[in-house]
């Protein structure tokens, strides 16, 4: 009868699954939205993109007229009559670049390409942030399930140890059986402590990734995938943000070669000056200045060769990125296939282990199995269920890993309920280098204040 009670307790304990967290339900989508809105890494890289936008504005400003004012006061002593004299002058100076072989316009083009590269770098950072949140979410679910299993295990073995001591008192079993149950309980308590520690680490990582502690995390289905491996590789080669960034960096490098060559050409600037002295007598002048290199000690030629070498290195870097993306896509699909195959096998193992456990339990009630046999069967079923939980988590992570490898793990593609950051909005405000007091400049001030708040 005591074996029957033990077996019944084992079955009930294994059937119970008590959620670790009792807070409000939370989905993976809400966690990803929190990560998107919370991530300081995204804010940092958005600020770097805005700084790159300003590089375009500064390059454009070099093509615009430059107006400066001047003022001076001079005190001299003595004059022809032995008296101190004072003179005042004020004026305006206007300068305009007329021609420099296209170097400044090439600089504008280079900065525009650099902005496009950084925009794609920002997408890659967004992917990293969201994938970290996926892993954090699923690891909390995994470790919560492990902790529930370990608690149930301790509860069951405690019941078994209590029953074993009762049976030892009446002489049904030996001291060895009691010691075996005590050893099993000590091991189960050790595993429980380890599970608690793992969950605490996962919760801390979740809070860092998402920006808040986890609530009651809901089950997650794998991300839907419709592309074959071949189609996925071709898609990633065309659309992955790392590849697009590398392509824009090549464009920057090629433009920089042209800029270096343009430095050999003359530079022509025009200027106009208007002045007014203390007697309100005005003066004006127009000027035209041309200059160009004759001998630079080989510096300009060296700069051209250097720009070419950097262009070649950037081109080679694109091949490295292409191969890396292809490998990442292939590995991601392989990981997903392994996770799915493992999941199918473990589902069969759990079903078989449940059948085996029920058989051992029935045989124990008839005296054909020992207490140790029941404990071992329970532990095997526990391990199988833990492995199944882990495989389910691995499948979900692997499916989102495929999206990551394809460059599709973004808030826009996942249709998260967040306000998507528009990288072009700030650029459109500053690309023409607006004056501070213009309508566009005031709009820019409002945008910057909103960002600061």
The model's pLDDT over 131-142, given as tens digits with 9 standing for 90+, comes to 999 999 999 999
Question: Other CB atoms closer than 10 Å to residue 296's CB: what's the count?
Answer: 12
pLDDT tens digits for range 387-420: 888 899 999 999 999 999 999 999 999 999 899 9
pLDDT tier, 96 (very low <50, low <70, confident <90, very high otherwise): very high
pLDDT at 224 over 70: yes
pLDDT tier, 374 (very low <50, low <70, confident <90, very high otherwise): confident
Query: Residue 137 contacts by C-beta under 8 Å, 6 or more apart in sequence?
Result: 28, 31, 206, 210, 214, 217, 220
Q: Compute the distance between CA of residue 126 and CA of residue 403 in angstroms, rounded to an integer.
A: 12
Specify if 14 maps to a domain.
yes
Query: Residue 336 contacts by C-beta under 8 Å, 6 or more apart in sequence?
Result: 222, 225, 395, 398, 399, 401, 402
When comparing pLDDT for 324 and 76, which is higher?
324
38-67 core/surface letters (b: 16 or more CB in 10 A; e: else)? bbeebeebbeebbebbbbbbebbeeeeeee
Specify if 59 maps to a domain.
yes
Specify if 441 maps to a domain.
no
Give residue 179's Cα distance to chain centre.
Answer: 51
pLDDT tens digits for range 195-208: 999 999 999 999 99
Q: Compute the distance between CA of residue 22 and CA of residue 374 in angstroms, rounded to an integer.
A: 32
Residue 232 burial by Cβ neighbours in a 10 Å radius (0-12, 13-18, 19+): buried
Residue 196 burial by Cβ neighbours in a 10 Å radius (0-12, 13-18, 19+): middle
When comparing pLDDT for 85 and 312, which is higher?
312
pLDDT at 13 over 50: no
C-alpha to C-alpha distances, 149 to 19, 21, 323, 382, 390, nearest whole angstrom: 11, 14, 43, 7, 12
pLDDT at 125 over 80: yes
pLDDT at 441 over 70: no
Kindly write down the DSSP assignment for every residue of 68-122, as one continuous string. Answer: EEEEEEEEE---TTS--EEEEEEEEEEEEEEESTTHHHHHHHHHHHHHHHHHHHH
User: Whole-prediction pTM value?
Assistant: 0.84
Integer-rounded Cα Rg, in Å, for the chain is: 36
Specify if 157 maps to a domain.
yes
In the prediction, which pLDDT does 175 show? 86
pLDDT tier, 2 (very low <50, low <70, confident <90, very high otherwise): very low
Q: Compute the distance between CA of residue 296 and CA of residue 304 in angstroms, rounded to an integer.
A: 13
Specify if 220 maps to a domain.
yes
When comparing pLDDT for 365 and 309, which is higher?
309
In the prediction, which pLDDT does 76 show? 73
pLDDT at 176 over 70: yes
pLDDT tier, 453 (very low <50, low <70, confident <90, very high otherwise): low
When comparing pLDDT for 214 and 3, which is higher?
214
Specify if 442 maps to a domain.
no
Question: Ranked by mean pLDDT, which of 83-87, 340-344, 380-384 comes out on top?
Answer: 340-344
pLDDT at 385 over 80: yes
Q: Compute the distance between CA of residue 33 and CA of residue 384 in angstroms, rounded to an integer.
A: 34
C-alpha to C-alpha distances, 421 to 46, 126, 313, 418, 425, nearest whole angstrom: 9, 11, 32, 9, 9
Specify if 447 maps to a domain.
no
pLDDT at 6 over 60: no
pLDDT at 439 over 50: yes
What percentage of residues in the chain have a pLDDT greater than 90? 60
Q: Compute the distance between CA of residue 98 and CA of residue 87 in angstroms, rounded to an integer.
A: 35
Mean pLDDT, the chain, integer: 87
Q: Compute the distance between CA of residue 47 and CA of residue 53 in angstroms, rounded to an integer.
A: 10
pLDDT tens digits for range 268-307: 999 999 998 877 888 899 999 999 999 889 999 999 999 9
In the prediction, which pLDDT does 83 show? 65
**φ/ψ bin of 78: left (φ > 0), alpha (ψ from -120 to 50), beta (otherwise):** beta
Cα torsion angle, 329, 330, 331, 336, sign = positive
In the prediction, which pLDDT does 280 show? 80
pLDDT tier, 3 (very low <50, low <70, confident <90, very high otherwise): very low
Its domain, for residue 362, covers 2-65+102-265+302-421
Helix (H) or strand (E) holding 216: strand 216-217
Least Cα distance to 189 among 111, 197, 166, 77 occurs for: 197
Question: Ranked by mean pLDDT, which of 117-126, 275-284, 374-383 comes out on top?
Answer: 117-126
Specify if 111 maps to a domain.
yes
Worst-scoring range by mean pLDDT, 98-107, 306-315, 349-358?
349-358
The SS3 of residue 453 is coil
When comparing pLDDT for 172 and 294, which is higher?
294
Based on the structure, what is the number of domains in the chain? Answer: 1
Question: Other CB atoms closer than 10 Å to residue 310's CB: what's the count?
Answer: 16
**Cα angle 395-11-23, degrees, rounded to a multiple of 5:** 55
In the prediction, which pLDDT does 174 show? 79
pLDDT at 14 over 70: no
What's the CATH number where 114 sits?
A: 1.20.1600.10
Starting at the edge strand found earlier in the chain, the sheet holding 85-99 runs: 66-76, 85-99, 267-277, 282-291
pLDDT at 230 over 60: yes
């Amino acid at each position: 009868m005591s074996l029957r009670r033990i077996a019944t307790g084992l079955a009930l304990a294994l059937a119970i699954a008590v959620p670790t967290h009792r807070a409000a339900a939370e989905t993976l989508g809400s966690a990803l939205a929190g990560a998107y809105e919370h991530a300081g890494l995204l804010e940092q890289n958005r600020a770097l993109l805005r700084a790159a936008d300003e590089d375009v504005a500064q390059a454009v400003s070099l093509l615009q007229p430059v107006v400066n004012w001047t003022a001076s006061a001079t005190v001299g002593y003595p004059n022809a009559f032995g008296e101190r004299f004072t003179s005042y002058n004020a004026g305006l100076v206007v300068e305009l670049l007329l021609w420099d072989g296209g170097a400044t316009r090439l600089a504008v083009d280079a900065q525009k390409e650099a902005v496009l590269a950084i925009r794609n770098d920002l997408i890659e950072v967004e992917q990293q942030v969201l994938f970290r949140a996926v892993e954090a979410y699923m690891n909390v679910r995994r470790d919560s399930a492990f902790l529930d299993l370990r608690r149930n295990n301790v509860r069951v073995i405690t019941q078994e140890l209590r029953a074993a001591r009762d049976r030892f008192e009446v002489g049904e079993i030996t001291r060895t059986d009691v010691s075996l149950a005590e050893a099993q309980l000590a091991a189960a308590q050790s595993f429980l402590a380890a599970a608690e520690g793992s969950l605490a680490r996962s919760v801390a990582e979740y809070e860092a990734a998402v920006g808040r502690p986890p609530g009651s995390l809901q089950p997650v289905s794998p991300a839907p995938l419709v592309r074959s491996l071949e189609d996925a590789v071709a898609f990633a080669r065309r659309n992955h943000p790392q590849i697009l960034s590398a392509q824009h960096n090549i464009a920057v490098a090629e433009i920089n070669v042209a800029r270096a060559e343009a430095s050999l050409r003359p530079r022509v600037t025009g200027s106009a000056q208007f002045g007014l002295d203390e007697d309100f007598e005005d003066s004006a002048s127009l000027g035209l200045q041309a200059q160009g290199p004759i001998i630079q000690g080989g510096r300009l030629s060296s700069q051209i060769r250097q720009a070419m070498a950097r262009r070649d290195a950037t081109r080679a870097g694109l091949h490295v990125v292409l191969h890396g993306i292809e490998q990442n896509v292939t590995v991601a699909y392989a990981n997903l296939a392994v996770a799915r195959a493992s999941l199918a096998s473990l589902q069969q193992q759990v079903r078989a282990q449940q059948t085996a456990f029920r058989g051992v339990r029935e045989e124990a009630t008839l005296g054909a199995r020992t207490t140790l046999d029941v404990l071992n069967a329970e532990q095997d079923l526990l391990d199988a269920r833990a492995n199944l939980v882990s495989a389910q988590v691995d499948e979900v992570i692997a499916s989102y890993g495929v999206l990551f490898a394809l460059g599709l793990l973004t808030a826009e593609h996942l249709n998260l309920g967040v306000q998507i950051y528009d990288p072009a909005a700030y650029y459109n405000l500053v690309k023409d280098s607006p004056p501070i007091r213009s309508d566009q400049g005031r709009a820019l001030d409002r945008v910057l204040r909103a960002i600061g708040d």
